Amino acid sequence: MLPNILVSDQTGQSSHTLTGAITIGAIVAVIIILFLVIKLLGAILRHPFISLALFALGGFAIFKFALVGIIGIGVLAAVGAGALWMNTGDGG
């Protein structure tokens, strides 16, 4: 049983809503972004000399590029999860 915000429409029948798709997408995005940021920080702490060399070469640009990629992956995952929730990817 899912909360009404996820599965009800104006008629009270059970169907997936846009609000539910946004909610599910946001949850998926937050989980994936947190997981990948933790992995990035773990790699930085495991290889401090490589991280210092990258920082010396490019400053924060390299790390900003990595964070933008992580956020982009999170957004794509959110859109994908929302589309699956709305059932718009089935061709029908």
String of DSSP letters for 72-83: HHHHHHHHHHHH
Q: Containing domain of residue 90, as a range?
A: 29-92
Domain count, the chain: 1
pTM (2 d.p.): 0.69
Region class of 59: left (phi > 0), else alpha (psi between -120 and 50), else beta: left
Reduced to 3 states (helix: H, G, I; strand: E, B; else coil), residue 14 is strand
* pLDDT of 92: 47
Residue 49 lies in a domain: yes
User: Residue 73 domain-assigned?
Assistant: yes
Residue 23 lies in a domain: no
What is the chain's pLDDT, residue by residue, as a tens digit (92 residues)? Answer: 556 555 555 555 556 777 888 888 899 999 999 999 899 888 888 988 888 888 888 877 878 888 899 999 999 999 988 888 877 644 44
Residue 2 is assigned to a structural domain of this protein: no
